[in-house]
């Protein structure tokens, strides 16, 4: 299976990058599953139903969230009728929506997508390891799902790495989100799970983690807020990770970073683009 995970989409310019680039990537790379983190898609804060549909229309098969899940209050309601919108699985029981979903892929297979959120330097939430373990045990790789993608939304690299090894051999891909800075540690772990500490963001990198530079810089200098954050509106770079799995095992065979845009060194999966 050919899987593309797209890092945190930030604001209008990030959505435009997805709309402009993703259909061609699906066609040219013959993608089977596309997962997009959309928790910053509405002006940098949360997601709306219209934006969720916009991402699906561009070719996303599932949309994951994170700590900004409920910044747009309508998400608390429309998530119940959005079966491919996945919020962190370790939110308090009774939270609207779902933390995992079994998705029909473009090639007729089935993929489990799980979204977890960290506890280090983040708002309080339930234990992510217990919650993710429960989902992996309920829908084992190859027995019930042809591929499994875990989006772990967290601040601490150590916690993300721990989740990677915790899931190694039981998931096709564990990828970190939230910091908006792509890491260079993409690899296949010893038991066959593809891993990357952070996929980066799909947004304007001439910014401070996707926000217009003036206000966040001013807060560091002043020590207090003077205005609301606003998503930067310059040209976006699409960042993420590409994984190819073995159909017999569901585990990763090849992995590569994806960076397409004007501000970072370009990166594409050569195993899909060569020739």
Domain hosting 253: range is: 2-273
Residues 98-150 pLDDT 10s:
999 999 999 999 999 999 999 999 999 999 999 999 999 999 999 999 999 99
Average pLDDT of the segment spanning 75-92:
97
What percent of the chain has a predicted confidence (pLDDT) above 90?
Answer: 98
Where in the sequence numbering do the catalytic residues fall?
Answer: 68
Beta bridge partners of 87: none
Please state whether beta strands 194-196 and 2-6 pair in parallel, antiparallel, or not at all (unpaired).
unpaired
Asked if 35 and 105 touch (Cβ cutoff 8 Å), the reply is no
pLDDT at 262: 86
Q: Whole-angstrom Cα distance, residue 194 to residue 190?
A: 9
Asked if 147 and 140 touch (Cβ cutoff 8 Å), the reply is no
pLDDT at 135: 98
Count of domains for the chain = 1
* pTM (predicted TM-score): 0.97
Contacts of 266 (CB under 8 A, 6+ apart): 259, 260
pLDDT at 275: 53
CATH of the domain at 144: 3.60.21.10
């Amino acid at each position: 299976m050919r899987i593309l995970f797209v890092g945190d989409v930030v604001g209008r310019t990030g959505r435009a990058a997805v709309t402009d680039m993703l259909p061609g990537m699906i066609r040219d790379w013959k993608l089977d599953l596309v997962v997009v983190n959309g928790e910053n898609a509405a002006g940098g804060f949360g997601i709306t139903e219209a934006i969720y549909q916009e991402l699906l229309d561009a070719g996303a098969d599932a949309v994951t969230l994170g700590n900004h899940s409920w910044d747009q209050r309508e998400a608390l309601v429309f998530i119940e009728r959005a079966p491919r919108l996945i919020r962190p699985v370790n939110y308090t029981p009774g939270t609207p929506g779902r933390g995992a979903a079994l998705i029909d892929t473009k090639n007729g297979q089935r993929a489990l997508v799980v979204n977890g959120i960290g506890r280090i330097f983040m708002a309080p939430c339930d234990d992510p390891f217990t919650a993710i373990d429960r989902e992996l045990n309920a829908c084992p790789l190859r027995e019930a799902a042809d591929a499994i993608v875990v989006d772990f939304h967290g601040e601490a690299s150590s916690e993300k790495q721990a989740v990677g090894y915790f899931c190694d051999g039981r998931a096709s891909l564990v990828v970190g989100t939230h910091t908006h800075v792509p890491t260079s540690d993409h690899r296949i772990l010893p038991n066959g799970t593809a891993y990357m500490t952070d996929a980066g963001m799909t947004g304007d990198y001439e910014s401070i983690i996707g926000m217009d530079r003036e206000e966040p810089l001013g807060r560091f200098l002043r020590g207090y807020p003077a205005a609301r954050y606003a998503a930067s509106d310059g040209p976006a770079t699409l960042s993420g990770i590409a994984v190819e799995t073995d159909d017999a095992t569901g585990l990763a065979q090849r992995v590569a970073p994806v960076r397409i845009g004007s501000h970072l060194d370009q990166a594409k999966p050569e195993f899909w683009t060569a020739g």
